[in-house]
Amino acid sequence: MRTDMNAFSHLGIDMQDVRARAEACLDTLFFDPQEKIYLDVDADSGCMVDTGNMDARTEGMSYGMMMAVQMDRKDLFDKLWTFSMRYMYQKSGIYQGYFAWSVDLKGHHNAEGPAPDGEEYFAMALFMASARWGDGEGIFEYSSQAREILRHCLHQDEMVQGGRAMWDRENKLIRFVPEANFSDPSYHLMHFYELFAQRADEADRPFWKKAAEASRHYIHMSAHPVTGMCAEYAEYDGSARLMFRKPYAFYSDAYRVAMNIALDTLWFGPHKALCDIATHLQDFYHGIQTEDYMACQLDGTMTDEHVMHPTGLLATLAAASIASSSAYRDEYLKRFWEMPLRKGTRRYYDNCLYFFSLLMLGGLYRIW
């Protein structure tokens, strides 16, 4: 399946314009003095800053690495990976081989435990770096590092005394954290697992193939049949799990599900149950302005709390056009193209989702 299709061509926007927009976004995110979310820390390392919390997270670090490999910026990739290994990588204890999910901007740990979405993005970005630039030595032997991460993800309980794997090997589902027996629908990256099934340790490749199908089924189970919304956190049966004192289910993490469905469709073809989710989401949000996006229950009942990341939500709704059959697909593309990157304190998460959505819609998010 071609992954270089420019969805914006429906609006008369050519690839030259898309590439220019992507380069401008990269420049803003990494170099603009006022709006960047990247920080040089050492001469050879740097981090992505969660500007709302003023820390560096494995989520953002691995996102930044994926951005860098897609945009052919080995210099940025290696700085991010150096920071991750120098300041986040756990060398001992029950989390040995994992990465501390949050550190301050000098690299001191705010937490010791890992967040599995960081590990899976790290591994995929490293595999792609290996394919695009070739393996180097030490921590820059990208493919070896990726396989080691996935080895810990699946076999931590066998490799480290007291450790726990990030995937439930019985049901093939990713855990919210290693200690949890529930999940986060937005963690399910079936398109990555299809590639892990080709590139991970040979003995684990059948697992990753089954995990891709298990995750597609899990997202289908988790999504509301009318609105298409998935919860931020969900039990293994797909039912919503309310956490962190939030009295609603569809919120920040959950926006990524539409983006993940889009990329899975782009790379490995449509799955009707998932494409229906994308369609339902676009149909539900049609006619609602970004400033009126509110935190929701899965059935679409809106609360009186505005969403924290409206730019990110619209970006992922636009990305859903890759999989959706909604009559409003092109309207979302137009709204997204006309929307600038977010500014201000909460720009980190929104602009990460914005950039990924731009890359996949513009045909620039490719398998390497």
Distance of CA 80 to the CA centre of its chain: 16
For residue 304 the two structure tokens come to: 């009186």
Using left for φ > 0, alpha for ψ between -120 and 50, and beta otherwise, residue 235 falls in beta
10 Å CB burial of residue 230 (0-12, 13-18, 19+) is: buried
Q: Compute the distance between CA of residue 65 and CA of residue 71 in angstroms, rounded to an integer.
A: 10
In the chain, where do the E strands start and end?
38-42, 45-48, 56-57, 102-103, 167-168, 173-174, 294-296, 302-306
Q: Residue 201 catalytic?
A: no
Which residue in the list 78, 117, 119, 253 is annotated as catalytic? 253
**d(Cα 217, Cα 172) in Å, to the nearest integer?**
11
Amino acid identity at 172: K
Backbone angles phi, psi at 353, to 5 degrees: -65, -35
- What residue has token string 């949890």? 180
What is the rounded CA–CA span in Å between residue 236 and residue 218? 8
Q: Would you report the helix, strand and coil content of the chain in percent, each value rounded to 5? A: 55, 10, 40
What's the rounded Cα separation, in Å, for the pair 143 and 285? 41
DSSP per position, 2-28 = -S---GGGGGT--HHHHHHHHHHHHHH
Answer yes or no: 59 catalytic.
yes
291-309: buried (b, 16+ CB within 10 Å) or exposed (e) per residue? Answer: eebebbbbeeebeeeebeb
Radius of gyration of the chain (CA): 19
Residue at 330: amino acid letter: D
Direct distance between the N- and C-terminal alpha carbons of the chain, in angstroms, rounded to an integer: 14
CA 151 to chain centre: 20
| Active-site residue set | 59, 253
